[in-house]
């Protein structure tokens, strides 16, 4: 039987979320500060960081810009694979 889980629950998507959170924290920004830059409520940031909401590529690019990180850095780190995949 095929795995019907949405990719939001995969280890790779979780790693993607972790990378975004790490980038925000390294930039010294709170969720509220990022939300303000995005002209969105703080709950928007909280939900994608906790995995309650999935972000698409356009939103990801906006988030990366708001955080001040090159989106390619996050993608490159994600491409290096998750810990489980590297075993």
Contacts of 85 by beta carbon, 8 Å cutoff, 6+ apart? 11, 12
- What is the pLDDT confidence band of residue 84, given thresholds at 50, 70 and 90? very low
Structurally, the chain folds into a number of domains equal to 1
Q: What is the pLDDT of residues 40-81, one digit of tens each?
A: 999 999 999 999 999 999 999 999 999 999 999 999 999 987
Q: Is 44 contained in some domain?
A: yes
Contact 74, 19 (CB under 8 A): yes
Please provide the distance, in angstroms rounded to a whole number, between the alpha carbons at the two ends of the chain.
Answer: 26
Q: Is 60 contained in some domain?
A: yes
Q: Is 84 contained in some domain?
A: no
Q: What is the pLDDT of residues 4-42, one digit of tens each?
A: 555 557 888 999 999 999 999 999 999 999 999 999 999
Q: What angle do CA 31, 32, 34 make, to 5 degrees?
A: 65
Question: Is the model's pTM score more than 0.75?
Answer: yes
Q: What angle do CA 40, 18, 76 make, to 5 degrees?
A: 105
């Amino acid at each position: 039987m095929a795995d019907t889980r949405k990719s939001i629950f995969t280890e790779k998507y979780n790693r993607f979320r972790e990378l975004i959170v790490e980038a925000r924290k390294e930039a010294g920004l709170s969720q509220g500060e990022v939300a303000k830059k995005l002209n969105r409520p703080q709950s928007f940031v909280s939900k994608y960081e906790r995995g309650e909401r999935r972000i698409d590529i356009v939103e990801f690019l906006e988030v990366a810009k708001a955080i001040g990180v090159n989106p390619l850095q996050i993608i490159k780190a994600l491409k290096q694979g998750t810990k489980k995949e590297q075993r």
